[in-house]
Chain A
Amino acid sequence: MSAPPAAISDANITWELPSRGRVGMYCLISAESAIFTIFVVAYLFYIGRSLAGPMPKDVLHAPIFFTVCLLSSSLTIHFAVKSLNSAKVGAFARWWFLTLTLGAIFLAGTAREWRHLIYDEGLTIQTNLFGTTYYSLVGLHAFHVTAGLLAITTVLLFALLGYVRPEHAERVDVLALYWHFVDAVWVVVFTVVYVIGR
């Protein structure tokens, strides 16, 4: 060994660790991604294997408007967190409410689509493999949207009652991470169900 390595002064090192809320949420997102992967694989595997109709190409119509709503809610929640970071609580509540509205519109769109499929086209989860995989995959996503909306509503109530302050930006951001994930999954589900599967 030649010259000893230069000692790093302890004073220069600050002991910083990642935020546990963020790490926890990333882990939850990984677990959820694994669950969605299995449902997506099942959907792809069963495309075209239904023994009886109705078939996807006859009954499915891509919900473009509702997709735009859901994807733009990612943008609004981002602006909400940004507002809270710069201590604009009023702007936060407005962006947050807009996110909730856009998410609710998307969910209403799913409900309308299901109503159409069940009552007009006669497609239920029991009808054929397409019905089983379609309602499971889209339903799993809608369940996650619902969970997200419940959480967003809770935060909105807190905000309206004046409990959300700039120091909560970190926690709100963790919830926003989950919402971004729900939106990203929709891109996958949309591609699989309405593009590849039709």
Chain B
Amino acid sequence: MSTDSISTLRADMPSRPLVAKVHEWVTTVDHKRLGILYIAYALVFLVIGGIEATIMRIQLIRPHNNFVSPEVFNRMFTMHGTTMIFFVVMPLLFGFANYLIPLMIGARDMAFPRLNAFSFWLTAFGGILLYFSFLGANGLYGAGSAPDVGWFAYAPLTSQTFSPGHSTDFWTLSLLVSGLGSIGTAINIIATILCMRCPGMTLGKMPLLAWLNLVMAVLVILAISPLSAAQIMLLVDRYLGGHFFDTQAGGSAVIWMHFFWIFGHPEVYVLVIPAFAFASEIIPVFSRKAIFGYPVMVAATVCIAFIAMSVWAHHMFTVGMNSNANTFFVLTTMAIAVPTGIKIFNWLATMWGGKIHFKTPMLFSIGFLFQFLIAGLTGIMLSAAPFTWHLGNSYFVVAHFHYVIVGGILFTTFGAFYYWFPKMSGKMYNEALGKLHFWLFLIGFHLTFDFMHIPGLLGMPRRIYTYEPGRGWDTLNLIVTIGVFFQAAGILVFLVNLLWSYFHGETAGSDPWDAWTLEWSTSSPPPAYNFATIPEVSSRRPLWDLKHPEDPDWKYE
């Protein structure tokens, strides 16, 4: 494609009719547009999943509340969990990976652009399939609407006997469809990183974001495939009368748990490793120092991914495994804290002695550091099997994993939004609104999830739709619910900031942060072809070399 045709296209764009623009977006195979589609799609589901969480918290605001029925409450926690994991966090991270990886490794697109589009639309239709269950799942029996079996859908609750109608079918099919999309994207990410790097960018000179996403994609392939296999088995049971999870015919309910958590625990690392990647890009730039211990960061990430494949049954301590299995999973789970701890120390060492700029992306990253540390500490508590025998399935567990997913992953993802928004839109976000978002969300997060640990310690089980007064849970639940409204306000400010800045923000320029990786060397937003000439790099910070020819990085690496 010549540059002429591209510039004509861009000049024509404002006058094009809406249908033509929509057609362009629907048929696009450009990694940047697909990245933005992923992100926009995830934001819509973030709002939906957030509304479901709010409904649950309003129901639990006081004892014996009647805001929703128990049946609706079951649907809400099932849909909230499924939505947030599969249709918010994964598409968000895939969106950023799609958008950033080719730009960061100096490529013009992903390795398989059409597979990329196919994967996005699979994920998109997976989400629509899940939500169609509200309308279409009544089935012949008139029973149920949305799925209500919990996000890990333990057998035999998913059998025809206990889940009549089609709600569970919608759940399993939507995860199968979107799972295939995830595998497609993972294949694409690996092939892109291994085969599309610009000259000079050896594996040891890749930005950490590319490295960590490579590890994440490997984990997706190893983790999502078992989930797809288990979903196929569940479909065989439900549609063809198979007996995989049918205890009446000698089948095992526990084997579903194993299959689900073989997916389920690596999935946590699938989600958190890209979050680490954002922190590893943002913290150095706003500390004005190169990342501390690059090779160790890579090694620790690979180590986490390796151990992550052998920790799954710590979700099953209360199921009744033998003591050998318990001991093994206690030890592996505790071991994974070591490489994770190494990473935290490396980020701290990057900030140490740096000139720290407290911009919004950095604020979110620092919030992540503290909160992820606490999430890790409660994780080590729960990794001890005897501790889990007391607190398994309590609100303590709910608080722990929300600390990881909201306090860790969502915080860095917000940081990533603010950090790369100027690149994606060409406009600067509003710093005051960004800081307001940070503080509202920080306060809301701590009100909700700090206080959620305590009812768990006091014996409040998860997934109950109401509770008796006078057990010491009342005030705590009230505080937890109040925190939700702060978080909702924060999200509102965030969305307003994105929209307002997109239309009225100041022009950002190609490199507003004085950063060092290749995506900042092209214009904002980047042209369809990314780079007019494919760059050549000789260090991990090619833009530093460009800006400081007298003291380039490659002398020291």
Contacts and interface: CB of A to CB of B under 8 A. Distances in A.
Interface in A42-56: 42, 45-46, 49-51
Nearest to B236: A136
A38 interface: yes
22 contacts: A17-B197, A20-B196, A23-B111, A23-B194, A24-B190, A27-B221, A31-B186, A31-B224, A31-B225, A32-B225, A34-B226, A38-B230, A38-B262, A39-B229, A42-B244, A42-B259, A128-B250, A129-B250, A132-B242, A132-B251, A133-B244, A140-B232
Contacts of A36: 229
A42 B262 CA distance: 13
A191 interface: no
A7 to B, nearest CB: 11
A30 interface: yes
Interface in B196-213: 196-197, 199-200
A50 B233 contact: no
B118 to A, nearest CB: 13
Contact of B191 (A24, A34, A45, A46): A24
Contacts of B255: 42, 45
Interface of B: 111-112, 115, 183, 186-188, 190-192, 194-197, 199-200, 221-222, 224-226, 228-230, 232-233, 236-237, 240-244, 249-252, 255, 259, 262
B170 to A, nearest CB: 22
Nearest to A15: B199
Contacts of A132: 236-237, 242-244, 251
Interface residues of A, number: 33
Contacts of A45: 252, 255
A31 B259 CA distance: 15
A18 to B, nearest CB: 5
A50 B186 CA distance: 38
A12 B252 CA distance: 61
A24 B112 contact: yes
A18 B244 contact: no
A30 B236 CA distance: 23
Given A34-B225, A35-B228, A38-B229, A129 B195 contact: no
A9 interface: no
Given A27-B190, A51-B249, A129-B251, A35 B229 contact: yes
A146 interface: no
B250 A17 contact: no
Nearest to B195: A20
Contacts of B250: 46, 49-51, 128-129
A30 B111 contact: no
A79 B200 CA distance: 37
B111 A31 contact: no
Nearest to B199: A15
A33 B192 CA distance: 21
A86 interface: no
A125 B196 CA distance: 46
A19 interface: yes
Sort A-B residue pairs by CB-CB distance and give the 10 closest, nearest first.
A34-B225, A38-B229, A126-B241, A20-B195, A132-B242, A27-B187, A20-B111, A15-B199, A35-B229, A24-B191
A35 B223 CA distance: 10
Contacts of B200: 15
A150 interface: no
Given A17-B194, A20-B112, 10 more contacts: A18-B194, A20-B195, A24-B112, A24-B115, A31-B183, A34-B222, A42-B259, A45-B255, A125-B241, A132-B237
A23 B249 contact: no
A174 B206 CA distance: 27
A34 B221 contact: yes
A100 B186 CA distance: 31
Contacts of B262: 38
A32 B187 CA distance: 12
Nearest to A23: B191
Nearest to B193: A23
A129 B243 CA distance: 6
Contacts of A49: 250
Given A28-B187, A49-B250, A132-B244, A125 B236 contact: yes
Contacts of A23: 111, 190-191, 194-195
A37 B244 CA distance: 15
Contact of A136 (B183, B195, B196, B233): B233
B250 to A, nearest CB: 5
Contacts of A15: 199-200
Nearest to B248: A51
Interface in A100-157: 125-126, 128-129, 132-133, 136, 140
A127 B449 CA distance: 49
A24 B249 CA distance: 40
B229 A34 contact: yes
B249 A128 contact: yes
Contacts of B240: 125-126
Nearest to B110: A20
Contact of A24 (B187, B226, B251): B187
B242 A136 contact: yes
A30 B222 contact: yes
Contacts of A128: 243, 249-250
A133 B255 CA distance: 13
Contacts of A136: 232-233, 236, 242, 244
